[in-house]
Chain A
């Protein structure tokens, strides 16, 4: 079975700091990868996704992620975080059965 690992459970940053959240997946074949965000009190929203093509994908709100096949990684980055980025971030992989397998999530707190 596929698995997704998110290395950081909690991250605290000051505004304007750079962000990188790690995500590793176990599946070795063709993968569809996603990052979802859950702001406090809100539902899961899609940040960005990778299906094929350019391994550097750009999402909403200035986020980007890089798919590195050799490392089974899909890390999320943002050059300068804002207080409004405080949220929980989930990495997920879509498997052949059309089900998403999620990582455990990373809680990001951005201090103003």
Chain B
């Protein structure tokens, strides 16, 4: 496994701008998750995909947030009209194929740190 990768690792933007983050899961992992972590807190769930289908969305995911996973491989998380409160670490995780014993274990990427000025 090469691990979950995320790009960019850091993003600084001005309030009101749009940003997009990318996540590449571990090869052949069919579930992909997005979490947000603010300073001093544990990660909070945002949304998850099974293949290309978005199956769950948190209340934290306002209408300014959108996530996609075309073709069931990499995923993008877009935040429109960023606000200072969006400043956080955005984490991506993936888990193995459903039906395997390890299916419920999520493997995390390094995250994208967003700073909104």
List residues of chain A with CB under 8 Å of any chain B CB.
4, 32, 34, 36, 42-46, 49, 51, 90, 92, 94, 97-105
Contacts and interface: CB of A to CB of B under 8 A. Distances in A.
Q: Which of B55, B58, B105 has the most CB of A within 10 A?
A: B105
Nearest to A107: B40
A34 B55 CA distance: 22
A105 B41 CA distance: 7
B43 A44 contact: yes
Contact of B105 (A42, A46, A102): A46
A90 B42 contact: yes
Contacts of A51: 104
Interface residues of B, number: 25
7 contacts: A43-B109, A44-B91, A98-B55, A100-B93, A102-B44, A104-B41, A105-B41
A4 B45 CA distance: 13
B25 to A, nearest CB: 14
A43 B55 CA distance: 25
A79 to B, nearest CB: 25
A98 B31 contact: yes
A36 B104 CA distance: 14
Contacts of B106: 100
Nearest to A42: B110
Contact of B108 (A44, A97, A98, A103): A44
A76 B94 CA distance: 24
Contacts of A42: 110
